[in-house]
């Protein structure tokens, strides 16, 4: 069994390429994952698709062959050529793949280092694959450790301090553009997680906001939750307005600041919707695929996710020392994970050593009773004594087996022990290592 990771991010692709690679809905993800598992090479798969990345995590019998299969399917999905993808993709094998997953979960590979959304997005991707039977024990172990790693990084460093995200970065840039926010209202399109983050950051910086969404009821719920969430920030209905979606064109042509973050599979703002306006407009498109069509119009500055790099660079400088500490944690936990995997193989051996001992004890007791060496009523007491002796005898070998399991000779020693004592090769016990995020679903 080998691990393989294939990664397309803001580091190796531009936003136009990521739009083609992105998965717009669960049906697209399900079809892709079904296709990638339709072979004898890949046994488990998890797919993560966000505005900044597309990640594929695989459990395979051959990394090289699995990589070829995956990239061909990515080419079919994105309508990009295989050569284009091979030239762009970051491919990680085994230890490298696990290290990369831990890095992603810990928000060290994010556009905004320390952003808090990625761990939840990864959990959602894992949950989706688990519910659809696209992943099981092997990747569950990796994800379990990845979330542990993310928690350790979060607790040991200050990377997650404050509120950092693509949304907060966009709003910070807007604040720089509008030194004087007096009279500047912000239009927020959408009512999902990114829109909510945008609203909260805009309000925090002193902007009044207008929320516009196809689902006006969801927009009203969002506005109400911000006003009444009781987190210490006090906002009034005058600061938060909700407008129906049919007013979008009018709003676009009457407001100076816009943040859009919908899940629409196509641009919702096109050039034909724009009319002249007497002030400069700054529009932030943090959706993928992009909400704003690719056009130029006098007096309108459009910023996509990739245009936030200047603030991201400042973020990296401020967090450099913390990131260094976090990478050390990731490296250490990657080693811990593979050592832990090796120790799992010890438990079946130890279990069957004790079972074998109990079989011998039971057999000899029955023979002793049959030959009248001991009385039948003394059997349980003598059995307990024999088991205690055997447990003491096996204690030191058990410790040695657990120690040697993490060494290069571990597999050889365990195999030799199984052969020497004629032990059953039973690995079912490993199924007890369920991921704490498996939503109570039985992992095969």
Catalytic residues: 51
Give the tokens for residue 194: 């990114």
Task: Give the residue from 125, 128, 117, 160 showing the smallest Cα distance to 286.
Answer: 117
Which contiguous run of DSSP H or E holds residue 120? Answer: helix 117-131
Give the tokens for residue 246: 């049919």
In sequence order, what DSSP letters do the residues of 132-187 get, joined into one string? TTS--HHHHHHHHHHHHHHHHHHHHSSTTSS--SHHHHHHHHHHHH-S--TT-EEE
Tell me how far apart the alpha carbons of residues 334 and 131 are, in angstroms, rounded to a whole number.
Answer: 26
Tell me how far apart the alpha carbons of residues 272 and 400 are, in angstroms, rounded to a whole number.
Answer: 74
The SS3 call for residue 45 is strand
- C-alpha to C-alpha distances, 162 to 34, 158, 207, 392, nearest whole angstrom: 39, 9, 19, 54
Give the tokens for residue 191: 């009512």
Please state whether beta strands 185-189 and 208-213 pair in parallel, antiparallel, or not at all (unpaired). parallel
Q: 125-164 in b/e burial notation, b at 16+ Cβ within 10 A?
A: bbbbbbeeebbbbbbbbbbbbbbbbbebbbeebebbeeeb
């Amino acid at each position: 069994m080998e691990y393989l990771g294939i990664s397309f991010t803001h580091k190796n692709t531009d936003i136009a390429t990521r739009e083609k690679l992105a998965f717009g809905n669960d049906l697209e993800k399900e079809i892709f994952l079904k296709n990638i598992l339709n072979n004898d090479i890949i046994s488990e798969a998890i797919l993560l698709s966000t505005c900044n990345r597309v990640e594929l995590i695989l459990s395979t019998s051959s990394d090289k062959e699995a990589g070829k299969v995956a990239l061909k399917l990515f080419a079919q999905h994105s309508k990009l050529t295989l050569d284009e993808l091979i030239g762009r993709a970051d491919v990680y094998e085994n230890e490298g793949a696990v290290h990369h997953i831990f890095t992603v979960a810990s928000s060290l590979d994010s556009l905004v280092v320390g952003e808090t959304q990625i761990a939840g997005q990864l959990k959602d991707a894992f949950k989706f694959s688990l519910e659809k039977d696209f992943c099981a024990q092997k990747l569950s172990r990796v994800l379990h450790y990845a979330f542990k790693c993310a928690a350790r990084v979060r607790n040991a460093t200050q990377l997650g301090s404050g509120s950092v995200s693509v949304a907060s970065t966009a709003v910070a840039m807007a604040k720089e553009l509008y030194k004087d926010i007096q009279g500047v209202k912000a239009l927020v399109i959408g009512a999902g997680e990114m829109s909510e983050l945008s609203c909260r950051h805009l309000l925090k910086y002193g902007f009044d906001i207008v929320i516009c969404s196809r689902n006006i009821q969801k927009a009203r719920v969002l506005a109400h939750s911000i006003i009444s969430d009781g987190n210490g920030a006090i906002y009034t209905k005058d600061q938060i307005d909700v407008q129906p979606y049919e007013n979008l064109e009018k709003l676009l042509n009457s407001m100076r600041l816009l943040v859009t973050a919908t899940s629409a599979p196509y641009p919702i703002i096109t050039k034909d919707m724009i009319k002249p306006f007497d002030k400069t407009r700054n529009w932030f498109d943090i959706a993928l695929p992009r909400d704003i069509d690719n056009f130029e119009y006098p007096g309108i500055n459009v910023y996509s996710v990739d245009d936030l790099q200047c603030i991201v660079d400042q973020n990296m400088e401020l967090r450099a020392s913390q990131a260094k500490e976090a990478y050390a944690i990731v490296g250490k936990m990657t080693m811990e994970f593979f050592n832990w995997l090796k120790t799992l193989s010890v438990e079946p051996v130890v279990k069957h050593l004790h079972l074998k001992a109990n079989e011998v004890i039971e057999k000899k007791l029955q023979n002793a009773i049959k030959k009248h060496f001991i009385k039948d009523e003394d059997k349980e007491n003598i059995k307990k004594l024999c088991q205690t002796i055997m447990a003491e005898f096996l204690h030191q070998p058990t410790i040695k087996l657990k120690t040697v399991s993490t060494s290069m000779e571990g597999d050889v020693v365990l195999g030799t022990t199984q052969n020497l004592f004629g032990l059953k090769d039973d690995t079912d016990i490993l199924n007890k290592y369920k991921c704490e995020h498996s939503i109570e679903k039985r992992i095969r």
